[in-house]
Amino acid sequence: MDKELQQIATEVESLSAKLKALKKEIGKVIIGQEETVSQLLITFLAGGHALLEGVPGLAKTLMIRTLANAIDLKFKRIQFTPDLMPSDIIGTEILEEDHSTGKKFFKFNKGPIFSNIILADEINRTPPKTQAALLEAMQEFEVTYGDKTYPLDRPFFILATQNPIEQSGTFVLPEAQQDRFLLYIKIGYPTETEETEILKATTGRTKVQLNKVISGEDIIRLQQLVRDVSISDGLIKYVSDVIRATRPDTTPIDYVKDWVDWGAGPRAGQAMILTAKAHALLEGRLAVSLEDLKSVAVPVLRHRVLVNFRAEAEGISSDEVTRHILKTVQLKEK
């Protein structure tokens, strides 16, 4: 058993070096935003999907494109617009003719969803009908058209962006679909130093050459290793306590009862544990700590805890509710 653990530790060390190289490649183009990049990598390692929100000009699209360009996987960008149809994403059948027999038949032409990394740009610009076309792919990693089901290549990631400040011509993602995203990542403004570096790096003639430093097979192996990262029963109970504390009908916290309409479901606990495991692995560790769980709690619960109208009027967000819960719920050591 010790020999097996040693082999895993050696493999983790090798793959961790590739993850560091991936971060370095992204850093050639993206200045700052280390936390956002780490959360994107956590999403990849945990085998989920991410929703990125930020005002225009914060390099959301560039960040995802840069990440995809540094990984040896197929990448497609879909620009979501009000007139985009589900068939524009999934694909459609076309009528073809067999030249040898003259017989006509329908052939399924695969859409851009049949790639490894999908950038769903401005996902809130398309109606719910088209947004829902992603649901089966996100959850089941397959697409059904007519009476046939087509498996998607693995690994498979959907990274969606949305703009929070412009509501004209947008369609808010339904809560049930938001729950399919492992993390809801909010991108903030750069610091003063970072902004100066951005201006210096993007207004000259220098072009950055990105290298593909990690393969799809490496990503799949990392996803397997994430499942092998250990977590104690005490920490699992802590996650359960945190998730149950978000629900007004089961919480012991008055703050939650006052400001929350709906708490998180069981998928939130699964997401919290998986992303904490990915966070630990990203740092080269094979065991989850309390800090791993706390570091991922906010992006995991951001879209799964729904505050009430009074909270919105008072400017109280789900992030503040989550931080209050993390301060209140204590780890119970056995």
Q: Where are the domains of the chain?
A: 20-218, 229-328
How far apart, in whole angstroms, are the C-alpha atoms of residue 41 and residue 288?
Answer: 17
pTM of the model: 0.90
User: Would you list the DSSP string of 274-307?
Assistant: HHHHHHHHHTT-SB--HHHHHHHHHHHHTTT-EE
Which CATH number applies to 229-328? Answer: 1.10.8.80
pLDDT, tens digit only, all 334 positions of the chain: 566 667 777 788 888 888 889 988 998 888 888 899 999 999 999 999 999 998 888 888 888 888 888 998 899 999 998 999 998 999 988 888 777 787 887 888 899 999 999 999 999 888 888 888 888 889 889 998 878 889 998 899 999 988 877 666 678 888 878 889 999 999 988 889 988 988 888 888 777 888 898 998 999 999 999 998 999 999 999 999 999 999 999 999 999 999 999 999 999 999 999 999 999 999 888 899 999 999 999 999 999 999 999 999 999 999 999 999 999 999 886 5
> Could you tell me which CATH class the domain 20-218 is placed in?
alpha beta
Q: Which residue has the tokens 């950038």?
A: 119
Residue 244 structure tokens: 């149950």
How far apart, in whole angstroms, are the C-alpha atoms of residue 272 and residue 301?
Answer: 8
- Shared fold status for 20-218 and 229-328: no
- List, in sequence order, the alpha helices (H) in 166-215: 175-178, 192-202
Amino acid 115 reads S
Residue 166 structure tokens: 């412009």
